[in-house]
Amino acid sequence: MLHYKSVQSFTNTILIICLCACSLHVWSTTPGNILEGVRIGSLNYDLDTSEETAAVTLNDDGYKNMPQIIIPSSVTYQGKVYTVTRIGSAAFAMCKDMKSVIIPNTVTSIADGAFFNCEGLVSVTIPNSVTIIEDEAFESCYNLTFLVLGENVSYIGSWAFARCVRLQSLSLPASVSYIGGEAFALCRSLTSISIPAGVSFIGRGAFVACFAATQIDVAAENPNYCSVDGVLYNKSKDHIYQYPAGKKDAVYDIPFGVKVIEYGSFQSCQYLTKLVIPSSVTGFGETLKTFNSIGEFVFNEECVSLKEIIYPEGLDISSIGIPEHTQCISYRPK
């Protein structure tokens, strides 16, 4: 079964941060001329007095009873104007009342867990000013159905949109170069995935358990990755990265020439009944060591139809998560 990320661990972290914030009541100063936790209007900010920039931060009550969050492009404090350039770590995490958020075209980065587990959030438009979306930024936004990524987003962190189970479409802008591990994992309704030409890194299991996705497309001009019959490979086609979970083929023969099957690559493949591994395969990608990875194994128990794996003698398949119901048959390479 999927080795799911521990939401409780993140939740505990948020609660600790909130308790610390509650004990302050007033802003404090830190090295680098940062004023922390300054309340301006309905939101809290960290103010950088040197750069005259502001980052939205969490507040004592978790922004309760605010169905729509409107982040201003600038705020004024003690006569000085600060440009809002960042949404801080866990700023709106677990804001159950939030339905929508308006992000100004001055914000350049969205920090880790900024909108984590905002269950009511339905739509998000990332403005063109944003270049970085950090780890877990929108993870577990279960009702997020409409997402627009600005044309300058270059970095999408690990788990950034994982478990957005109602997200049906995804348009990655040409500016994207980095997609973190499991960035869109468990986006069960995601039907189409297209990798732009500029993407130079895709983390392990970036699109694992996207049950509705039947293929992964890659721009022909991409020098690092390619798609073969809807399956994600590196450009030289000797590493297989992701077999789409919704691909309806019953039998899949991995092409000869593939040397490495990456971890997470065949997880949750619902329709695959038989997989043939060629003698060119010498091993599997290095397993993830972190407890929260769902891409830790090549297969999992959600490969419900997988009855048979044909593999070459000498290939060690003992620790890649083969389902209990799957029969493994070895053959002697010619």
Q: What is d(CA 24, CA 270) in angstroms, rounded to the nearest whole number?
A: 51
The percentage of residues in the chain with a pLDDT greater than 70, rounded to a whole number, is 87
pLDDT tens-digit series, residues 272-312: 999 999 999 998 986 443 334 444 588 888 899 999 999 99
Given CA atoms 294, 228, 157, 56 in this order, what sign does their dihedral have?
Answer: negative
Q: Is residue 243 one of the residues assigned to a domain? A: no
Predicted confidence band of residue 92 (pLDDT cuts 50, 70, 90): very high
Q: Is residue 128 one of the residues assigned to a domain? A: yes
Domain at 52, CATH number:
3.80.10.10
Measured between alpha carbons, how far is residue 299 from residues 208, 243, 264, 275, 306 in Å? 11, 11, 7, 11, 10
Q: What is the DSSP letter of 80?
A: E
The pLDDT assigned to 64 comes to: 87
Strand partners, 239: 260
The percentage of residues in the chain with a pLDDT greater than 90, rounded to a whole number, is 79
Q: Is residue 23 one of the residues assigned to a domain? A: yes
Q: Is residue 178 one of the residues assigned to a domain? A: no
List the domain range (segments joined by +) for residue 141.
Answer: 1-167
Mapped onto helix, strand or coil, the DSSP state of residue 17 is helix
Q: Does residue 13 carry a pLDDT above 80? A: no
Q: What pTM value is reported for the model?
A: 0.88
The pLDDT assigned to 286 comes to: 63
Q: Is residue 235 one of the residues assigned to a domain? A: no
The pLDDT assigned to 282 comes to: 92
Predicted confidence band of residue 32 (pLDDT cuts 50, 70, 90): low
- Mean pLDDT of all residues in the chain? 89
The pLDDT assigned to 5 comes to: 44
Q: Is residue 215 one of the residues assigned to a domain? A: no
Q: Does residue 51 carry a pLDDT above 80? A: yes
pLDDT tens-digit series, residues 181-236: 999 999 999 998 999 999 999 998 999 999 999 999 999 999 999 999 999 999 99
What is the arrangement of strands in the sheet containing 239-242, beginning at the earlier edge strand? 225-228, 231-234, 239-242, 260-261, 283-284
Phi then psi dihedrals of residue 231, to 5 deg:
-100, 140
CB 274 within 8 A of CB 242: no
Q: Which two tokens stand for residue 198?
A: 């500029």
Q: Does residue 178 carry a pLDDT above 90? A: yes
Q: What is the DSSP letter of 178?
A: E
Contacts of 177 (CB under 8 A, 6+ apart): 154, 155, 198, 199, 200, 201
Q: Is residue 323 one of the residues assigned to a domain? A: no
Counting the structural domains of the chain, the total is: 1
Q: Is residue 86 one of the residues assigned to a domain? A: yes
